Amino acid sequence: MEIKTVGVVGAGQMGNGIAHVMALAGYEVRLNDISQDALDDAVARITQNLDRQVSRERISAETRDAALARIRTTGQLKEIAGTDLVIEAATEREDIKHKIFETLLPDLGPDTILTSNTSSISITRLASRTDRPERFMGFHFMNPVPVMQLVELIRGIATSQETYEACLKVVENLGKTAASAEDFPAFIVNRILMPMINEAVYTLYEGVGNVNSIDQSMKLGANHPMGPLELADFIGLDTCLAIMNVLHEGLADTKYRPCPLLTKYVEAGWLGRKTQRGFYDYRGETPVPTR
């Protein structure tokens, strides 16, 4: 099947990035969110990012204008149900994702492919609550979407080869690279990345190093472009904790136990950049470590 229209559920950091790259690749995009403010902010962010690409001569002004013209926003979930491909990019909570797919089901086209941008939740379990588990798979973009080249494609136990190949073609049309992952907790990238971040938080919790020394050690000693605590703030500490909980519960191994300090920061509402405080305080001109 040929995919021409894409519905994106959720206009947050991931959703607006997905809408951006899809529209730039020539797909007609319908972007949905329950918040009109979120939709307005998403269009502003997409416009800003496309303008940046024009200023760096990566795309032309005409290409930018054509991409923006392909994006329509809506507060009604059912208005995206008729697209060829739906990508759910809502918050990383399984109950919310089930509710979204449940709401979409009555209005879906017969051939519509359902996908989730989840970073850790079982694709098989999400698919089992729909009427088309064979046309359901994980479509996991990396953040920030316009910059990162990888997309994880995760098959549930019932995902058909036709569905996989249709999604693979979309990834190729975006100019990105697909990595096929099996449906195990956190898939590939986060199965490796999140325990490293969690261990960095334990290193801080146990007083082995402070925020600066831990991040500098990994940047200068392991050649990482961003320290693990800085990266955790960028991702969102609530997302990091949610993924660690999925790993801990799904694999039943104590090595995935979330660090109590990570839990404490989330309970305090210090979620990283999006709340202006996490392992760094972002309220001033330059980030300041909070420990």
Of the candidates 88, 190, 198, 230, the residue annotated as catalytic is 190
285 annotated as belonging to a binding site for a ligand: no
Where helices occur in 174-259 by DSSP H, the ranges are: 189-205, 211-221, 228-235, 237-251
* Catalytic residue status for 140: yes
* Catalytic residue status for 119: yes
11 annotated as belonging to a binding site for a ligand: yes
CA 103 – CA 182 distance, rounded (Å): 27
35 annotated as belonging to a binding site for a ligand: no
CA 141 – CA 159 distance, rounded (Å): 19
148 annotated as belonging to a binding site for a ligand: no
Of the candidates 119, 120, 122, 198, the residue annotated as catalytic is 119
Instruction: Report how far apart, in Å, the C-alpha atoms of 2 and of each of 93, 94, 141 are.
Output: 31, 29, 21
Q: What is the largest CA-CA distance in the chain?
A: 56
Q: Are strands 280-281 and 288-289 parallel, antiparallel or unpaired?
A: antiparallel
160 annotated as belonging to a binding site for a ligand: no
15 annotated as belonging to a binding site for a ligand: yes
Name the nearest CA neighbour of 290 among 276, 278, 274, 273. 278
37 annotated as belonging to a binding site for a ligand: no
119 annotated as belonging to a binding site for a ligand: yes
Of the candidates 32, 122, 140, 230, the residue annotated as catalytic is 140
Contact 82, 3 (CB under 8 A): no
Q: Classify residue 10 by its DSSP letter.
A: -
Name the nearest CA neighbour of 136 among 169, 111, 173, 103. 111
**DSSP character string of 249-287:** HHH--GGGPPPHHHHHHHHTT--BGGGTBSSEE-SSSS-
97 annotated as belonging to a binding site for a ligand: yes
Of the candidates 20, 49, 122, 152, the residue annotated as catalytic is 152
175 annotated as belonging to a binding site for a ligand: no
Name the nearest CA neighbour of 20 among 3, 34, 52, 215. 52
Instruction: Quickly tell me which residue has 């420990």 as its tokens.
Output: 291
Query: E strand or H helix at 38, and its extent?
Result: helix 36-55
Q: Which residues are annotated as a binding site for NAD(+)?
A: 10-15, 33, 92, 97, 119, 143, 274
Residues noted as catalytic = 119, 140, 152, 190
Q: Which residues are annotated as a binding site?
A: 10-15, 33, 92, 97, 119, 143, 274
